[in-house]
Amino acid sequence: MHTNRTIFACQSPFSLEAKSNQLAGLSLGVKDLFDMAGLPTAAGNPDWLRTHETPKATASVVLRLLEAGAEFIGKTQTDEIAYSLNGTNQHYGTPLNPAAPERIPGGSSSGSAVAVANGSIDIGLGTDTGGSIRVPASYNGLFGLRTTHGLVPLDNTVPLSPMFDTVGWMTRDIDTMQKVSSCLLSEQKVTTYQSVAVLVPEVNGVTLWRPEHQAWLDKQSSVIQVNIVRLNHEWLAGASECFRTLQGYTLWQQHQAWITQYQPTFASDIKQRLDWCQSLSIAEYQQALSQQQQFIADIESWFAKVDCIVMPTTPSAAPKLNASADWMANYRSELMGLTAPAGLAGLPQLHLPVLTDEQAPFGLSLLGKKYSELSLIHLAKSLRAGVSVFSGEGV
């Protein structure tokens, strides 16, 4: 199969005898952060590829999917060392968002998202640190699951910020999402969820929980909206800054030696953020750790008397490809106000692609308590969320 280099980092034969037929008939793309024995890992950067040997071992999560019968198609592109939510890559190009070609695909699991959205694969395996599953799922009209921090092992995987890195996956339909999740989370019990709280964030005077979000939720007969959690701009900005500081400090500790030794070439926006990471002090890190505990307490309080939280995943549909750098920097801060809660508290979040914004993919998320992934999916199946609005089948 011939495909665009911007989507697939490599496509080479890699087979493993299946031990079950649980995922038989489903094709798999693997984000180019996960090692696979005999295939190079580039982490979205030619200098990473140049300075690292070809892996001799395969990430355990990939092995589990292959052993369940999934067919490996190829390794998919990622933003450089996964440190972006845009999905652009100056070295390998920007994968085309098939649902909105004039807009960015979202990252950093960009190749996995686009390959699922355009039908090249059924399962897009990726990682989510600050939104790298949830954001591209939103922008490409996919179901996307970020798992509880530490639930799925990240062995033989290039890290970004280990204190936040998680495994996730994207699919076009909820049934495939359920199959993959049941395979990887087989020991998890399913609880029937019914009560929800709605998260209403306000950024710069704009309420991100829109009337169309509420109209969709009001049509769902299987849930009871118990209360509303309002978050002002200050809370969201604080959560974003706390997360960014913790992520940035730990990222620099993780990659400092490699960056210092090899002086790799990065895109200008990523280089600017890495320079900022380098400037962070241990005092700033410790202060952010203290702030994180208060944010976690706030987040835990949202779940009082409810099973899960319903919230906007992203502020809008994907930004346009021609958006200015200054606009994108401001948007990134707003976006991370929405993605930070799951990261700060280590919680699972499931994106549902059930709405459109300016004729582009949009939706909302179910934010759950730790280890509630299968229960969130069970709830999603009852919420008229069986297929994406971009699947051609409607909801």
Which residue in the list 31, 75, 179, 369 is annotated as catalytic?
31
Phi, psi of 40 (to 5 degrees): -70, 150
- Told to judge if 31 belongs to the known catalytic residues of this protein, a careful annotator would answer yes
> Which residue is catalytic, options 27, 75, 84, 108?
108
Give me 328's structure tokens: 């994108």
Contact, 3 vs 74, CB < 8 A?
Answer: yes
Alpha-carbon span 339 to 130, nearest angstrom: 6
Give, in degrees to the nearest 5, the angle at Cα 215 between 213 and 220: 100
The answer to whether the CB of 60 falls within 8 A of the CB of 156 is: yes
How far is Cα 62 from Cα 109, in angstroms, rounded to an integer? 15
> Is residue 19 annotated as a catalytic residue, yes or no?
no
Q: Using CA atoms, how far apart are residues 126 and 76, in angstroms rounded to an integer?
A: 9
H or E stretch covering 308: strand 308-312
Based on C-alpha coordinates, what's the Rg of the chain? 19
86: exposed, middle or buried (C-beta count within 10 Å: 0-12, 13-18, 19+)?
buried
Catalytic residue among 84, 112, 120, 132: 132
Would you name the residues annotated as active-site residues? 31, 108, 132
